[in-house]
Amino acid sequence: MSVNIKPLADRVLVEPAAAEEKTAGGIFIPDTAKEKPQRGVVVAVGNGKPDEPMTVKVGDKVLYGKYSGSELALEGKDYLIMRESDILAIV
């Protein structure tokens, strides 16, 4: 869960939670039918904007909107980089 990256300003790097690959009944869902995960863990945090310190910190489990952030591949893993304002809540 450690990555060597410094998000700029009020940006946050989030590792999305893995989507369930089976339905409750045990049927495999093909890749395109899986809904994008909306939960994740914060793995890197920017320094905030001037006079606006960051609220989330590394390790926080967060909820975010379905279409938030840009996808980013780092060392073979997919992350999302988004603004803190795209994060809805800490769970």
Q: Taking a C-beta distance cutoff of 8 angstroms, is the pair 56, 62 a contact?
A: yes
Q: Using CB under 8 A as the criterion, what x/- string covers residues 8-47 for binding a copy of itself?
A: xx-x-x------------------------------x-xx
Query: Does the protein bind a copy of itself through residue 88 (CB under 8 A)?
Result: yes
Nearer CB in complex with a copy of itself: 46/58: 46
What gap in Å lies between CA 36 and CA 71, rounded to an integer? 12
CA–chain centroid gap for 19, Å, is 13
Exposed/middle/buried for residue 21 (C-beta within 10 Å: 0-12, 13-18, 19+): exposed
The residue count for binding a copy of itself (CB under 8 A) is 29
Nearer CB in complex with a copy of itself: 13/15: 13
Instruction: For the chain, give the longest Cα–Cα distance.
Output: 50
Token pair listed for 68? 């938030």
Residues that bind a copy of itself (CB under 8 A): 4-9, 11, 13, 44, 46-47, 50-52, 55-56, 63, 65, 70, 72, 74, 81, 84-85, 87-91
